[in-house]
A and B are shown apart, each in its own frame.
Chain A
Amino acid sequence: MVKQSYFTILSQRQLTSAMYEMVLEGDTSALAAPGQFVNLKLEGFYLRRPISVCTYDSKTMTLLYKVVGKGTAYMATLPAGTKLDILTGLGNGYDTSLSGDRPILCGGGAGVPPMYELAKVLIAEGKHPAVLLGFNTKEEIFYEEEFKALGADVYVATADGSYGTKGFVTHLLDLVKGYTYSYSCGPEPMLKAVYDATNTSGQFSFEERMGCGFGACMGCSCKTKYGNKRICKDGPVLAKEEIIW
């Protein structure tokens, strides 16, 4: 259920040269599942900016965002106390009921954030997730310690080999024996690589440029084996069985 409300920035923290963590206080009652996203209205920008919910509780919500353009650069300048108009409760999110005991959670770069809440929920459900994180370089790594603190097994790959296993998240698959399911979020080539390399079912989170973020404009449509879907409303998470590359 979509909700529009005002959140107040409690804190901002720079995690790497481009990644920031923003903690906000407000009405989180519309947040229903890990993998959902929110849509932020920023002063001076016409369209809202979609950002995944990294984690939340009854009063606060944490977003991790990468500065890639003017809107996210502006977000990074906002001081604590700033009020933001935010649409919450957007998207379907991940379904944890299908995970089995040993799901793998694959996050790549700016796709890592939603894996945090997902890992938290899966662990609370008594499951044993393995978190596979992919970054370009050692300098770009964030949240490794936070994932470990949840009690998840964490494996890191860097494309240049400067930390952990050299290569991509798919190079970490061999390290996890007998995984039961996969959850992924990251750039599309990473999603495709996980899709091809895994022998279990899974769920994959997609990105698309959005006009509204709540299903009204058909700006974000994609074709699936079960018909046309809107990434913002029927996604962003699609089941492995329905994806058409």
Chain B
Amino acid sequence: MVNTKVQLSSLTLDNPVIPASGTFGFGYEFAELYDINVLGSFSFKGTTKEPRFGNPTPRIAECPEGLINSVGLQNPGIHAVIAEELPKLAKCFHKPVIANISGFSVDEYAYCCELIDKEPQVGLIEVNVSCPNVHNGGMAFGTDAVAAAEVTRAVKAVTTKPVYIKLSPNVTDIVSIAKACEEAGADGISMINTLLGMRIDLNRKKPIIANKMGGFSGPAIFPVALRMVYQVYEAVNIPIIGMGGVSSADDVIEMMLAGATAVQVGAANLIDPFAAKKIVEDLPRAMEQYHISSLKDIIGGAH
């Protein structure tokens, strides 16, 4: 018998497989297809203070081994998430869920995190700091160490549950930002969000995405994500949730060897709605193949 349990701060997961925010909605589409309680947990759709429609369409573009999305945080707003989505989710998911929170100001982050922290279903808060910061000259929180630390401190001050800061890869030095979040009190790091990308329609000779650019993810970004997790693992002493292109049990093991304690699966869920379940089911086979008896023993094993 192999042991797939891992520990994310106060949260014990049956396995490290977690569908990533924005690729799993609030769970129900998938609960119709399989019992989502086989998952370690899942991270729900990025939630903001106000309801958002997001960006104009088209907001999806295909790429070799991946896709670009410019959904732009479409969500019903924190109050509707608490009043409507979480009660619906309670019927099909009985494990602690990861709350993914976004904001456009430090106050908004704190406001949403304080509210969601009180929800018993929520086991961990994942703070997405890769949105444009309207109060900071248009710069993203996640691309500036000082701003990322400021959000971390503000959220930590109003919450009791583990707070993981989700970092943007669109920076020159992700390590310094991760360290700034750790110093500001983050319980963990979640990484990576999508890489800024673009496609042009050759017939129209204009960008495919209405917003011109969007976030690139999928198997194509796996080596970049893996490298960043490896670098951040060397620099911080808090757990890392690794993601970016993970599509198989082998990818999960590779990401954990680089330093991830748990692993998120994003784009793969969109291509194959059973992807996360298949990865969970294939993990014991992969562990035996690579002579791993307990997954938690391999975290950072490549260093």
- Where the two chains meet, the residues of A that have a C-beta atom closer than 8 Å to any C-beta of B are 1-2, 4, 41, 45-48, 87, 208-212, 214-223, 228, 233
Contacts and interface: CB of A to CB of B under 8 A. Distances in A.
B60 interface: yes
B25 A216 contact: yes
B274 A220 contact: no
Contacts of B29: 2, 214-216, 233
A218 B71 contact: yes
Contact of B57 (A47, A215, A220): A220
Contacts of A220: 57, 60
Chain A interface mostly helix, strand, loop or mixed?
loop
B42 to A, nearest CB: 11
A1 to B, nearest CB: 7
Interface of B: 22-25, 29-30, 32-33, 45, 53-54, 57-67, 69, 71, 74, 208, 218-219, 269-274
Contacts of B273: 2, 4, 87, 212, 214, 216
A212 B22 CA distance: 11
A1 B32 contact: yes
A4 B53 CA distance: 29
B271 to A, nearest CB: 7
Nearest to B70: A219
A209 B61 contact: yes
A208 B69 contact: no
Chain B interface mostly helix, strand, loop or mixed?
loop
A6 B74 CA distance: 33
B69 A219 contact: yes
24 contacts: A4-B274, A46-B62, A46-B63, A46-B65, A46-B66, A46-B67, A46-B218, A47-B60, A47-B270, A209-B59, A210-B60, A211-B270, A212-B271, A212-B273, A216-B23, A216-B25, A216-B29, A217-B22, A217-B23, A217-B25, A217-B71, A218-B74, A221-B53, A228-B74
Contacts, number: 87
A217 B270 contact: yes
Contacts of A219: 57, 59-60, 69, 71
Nearest to B209: A209
B22 to A, nearest CB: 7
A215 B26 CA distance: 11
A30 to B, nearest CB: 11
Contacts of A210: 60
A2 B25 contact: no
A46 B271 CA distance: 7
A228 B59 CA distance: 15
Contacts of B33: 2
A46 B67 CA distance: 8
A38 to B, nearest CB: 14
Nearest to B51: A228
Given A4-B273, A47-B271, A211-B270, 12 more contacts: A45-B62, A46-B62, A47-B270, A208-B58, A212-B273, A216-B25, A216-B273, A217-B22, A218-B54, A219-B59, A219-B69, A221-B71
